[in-house]
With several copies, the nearest count.
Chain A
Amino acid sequence: MIRQNFFKELYSMAEQPMIEMKNVTKVYDNGTVGLKNINLKINKGEFIVIVGLSGAGKSTLLRSINRLHDISEGDILIDGESITKAKGKNLRLMRRKIGMIFQSFNLVKRSSVLRNVLAGRLAYYPTWKTTFNLFTNEDKQRAYEALQSVDMAEKVYSRADELSGGQQQRVAIARVLTQNPEIILADEPTASLDPKTSHQVMEDLRMLNEKYNMTVVANLHSIELAKEFGHRVIGVRAGEIVYDGKMEDTPQSVFDSIYNGGTGKEED
């Protein structure tokens, strides 16, 4: 881990950030303020965990990055390019670079595992080809290999609803792997899983981060998992970033204060 952090810092000096949020504010239609003037830089290859109380705005933050939510003010740059202004084809191409893992997996339950994983390649094809299911053999093989790397190869032709929760999440990870993105957003990827499976899923994320050098941003509720896997911690409360620091520099007291309503502002 230390070796990697070292690399990351090297990078961050040399390159532009992978994700940059500039004065981002998000107000929901009903008036709820989801995000308040967020400024954040995330570099290539980082493994970031976002922590915060329920309703703090973690999901909102994550979903703003790939524009599943439109923000109200500010700008978000992916690899230097504004996703806020992107449209149509262009937006889709930018999203292709960003994989997402959901708490509830979001697999198509009645489709096969393979088809679910192949969905990760959708943005690489013209629409008509995907409509008639004309994926190349190469991509099918790629999907299969992704399944192998999360140890789900033998379920390739099973229907997604035949899998347990942990297995479904691993299929979702294989989908991201097939998408081959540069960034992975994970919104409470372990919330509905038992401790053992949670661990496995986090290991898979670590694998993506270390082996393929993908940037990972994960919302986590579990402090144990956060501590074990994250390199950098971002604390969110009421739509604002109240803490941002390296994991090894973050004492337990910070977590306590974030979760108990304190300010958590030791650094910043």
Chain B
Amino acid sequence: METTMKKLPPKPVTAKTRAVKWLSWILAIVVLIWSCTGLDFTGIKPTAGQITSAIFNGLFHPDWSYVYNGSGEDLVSQLWQTLCIAFLGTFISAIISIPFAFWAANTRHKKFWVSESGKIVLTFIRSFPEIVLALMFIKAVGPGAPAGALALGFHSVGMLAMLFSEAIESLDDGPSEAITAVGGSKFNVAVFATMPDLMPALVSNTLYRFDVSVRSASVLGLVGAGGIGYPLMIALNYRQWSRVGIILLGIIVMVVIIDWISGAIRKKLV
């Protein structure tokens, strides 16, 4: 090109940004290396091959007799119960989550510490292990599905309310201002301005959570909180691989159906 053209100047990086960049890279690598230390990986066990093939053998020869036998303790009834636990749990948590979400949402016209305290509470709920929660509910309502549903309902609030509050934060705050301007109370603002526009996010996050809950519901059976978890755990502990196989198949079919339905709902509502 022409001679009047200037040379490309070097990239203007301040010492600080360069240092930050390098430091974060180094830090990341150090952390990664550190996390690999002290984990003695003893390699694949000699028995792994046999066991893997036993597992696959079981998975591919599922115990069909377990699918349905009318006793109420077959795969279909247990999955149905799991589904009911997940549904009820999600329902409960969606309702509890709404006030929590308003609390934790960092919107304008709100003191910083209010939303921050809400967020911390949600984090606390999230870090409370489901199993411990289930134990507490078992003490209150006895062992079985109700404890599972309640534990799930309470535990999910941590995540669901966080997702809701993020949705609230990303809402346009014009309508809220309009309601405030006509003399509406804070509650009016929530009901008239925020809720309607929040609906799509509410629905899709709840559906997403339902998905997760179905999987969690299968954990709670460990401590006697109902659902497919207990039979699954027993089958695993006593190495009944064909039973594991049919349960896994059942869960897959159920989740795929749920995915499909919730996809349809999402499309319809959003």
Contact = CB atoms under 8 A, between A and B. Distances in A.
B6 A123 contact: no
B153 to A, nearest CB: 23
A92 B182 CA distance: 8
A158 to B, nearest CB: 10
The SS class assigned to the B binding surface is helix
Interface string A60-78: 0000001010000000000
A141 B8 contact: yes
Given A92-B184, A142-B1, A175-B182, A108 B191 contact: no
Contact of B192 (A102, A109, A111, A141): A111
Given A104-B174, A110-B196, A110-B197, A144 B183 contact: no
Contact of A153 (B6, B12, B174): B6
Nearest to A121: B182
Interface in A160-210: 172, 175, 179, 185
Nearest to B12: A157
Nearest to A157: B11
A95 B192 contact: no
A145 B9 CA distance: 11
A140 interface: yes
B193 interface: yes
A96 interface: yes
Contact of B6 (A92, A99, A109, A148): A148
Given A110-B197, A122-B192, A127-B188, A95 B6 contact: no
Interface string A111-146: 100010001101100010011000001001111110
What size tier do the contact residues of chain A reach?
Answer: 35 or more
Interface residues of B, number: 29
A238 interface: no
Interface string A34-77: 00000000000000000000000000000000101000000000
A142 B184 CA distance: 18
A106 interface: yes
B108 to A, nearest CB: 10
A98 B181 contact: yes
B183 A68 contact: no
B182 A108 contact: no
A107 interface: yes
Interface of A: 66, 68, 91-96, 98-100, 102, 104-111, 115, 119-120, 122-123, 127, 130-131, 137, 140-145, 148-149, 153, 156-157, 172, 175, 179, 185
Task: Across the A-B interface, give the 10 residue pairs with the lowest CB-CB distance, nearest first.
Answer: A123-B183, A106-B174, A95-B183, A96-B183, A144-B8, A106-B178, A100-B181, A92-B183, A122-B184, A110-B196
